[in-house]
Amino acid sequence: MARKCQVTGKQVMVGNNVSHAKNRVKRKFYPNLLKKKFFLPDENRWVSLTVSTHGIRLINKIGISAALKGAKAKGYIGKY
């Protein structure tokens, strides 16, 4: 599976390491992803998601059902 948050869509970014002498070398910035299980009270079951820490905060703020509905509308997640 790709390194991508299933709630927010955060993924790997590409940039440069810049030394003191201004030498530039390509590098990757990885999102802080965690495998986490969430309980869906509507369907009475657990769902395992790969989410960023920002995605976990979003789920705590708006709820798991609303977060999954928004992620599905934006195309970040297909079937959960």
Nearest Cα to 3, choosing from 25, 27, 28, 26?
Answer: 28
Residue-level pLDDT at 2: 84
CA-atom Rg of the chain in angstroms: 16
Residue-level pLDDT at 1: 58
pLDDT, averaged per 10 consecutive residues of the chain (80 residues), comes to: 91 98 98 97 95 97 96 90
CATH architecture for the domain at 13-74: Roll (2.30)
- The pTM of this model reads 0.85
Residue-level pLDDT at 78: 86
SS3 60: helix
Please state the domain extents for the chain.
13-74
CA 46 – CA 75 distance, rounded (Å): 21
Residue-level pLDDT at 57: 97
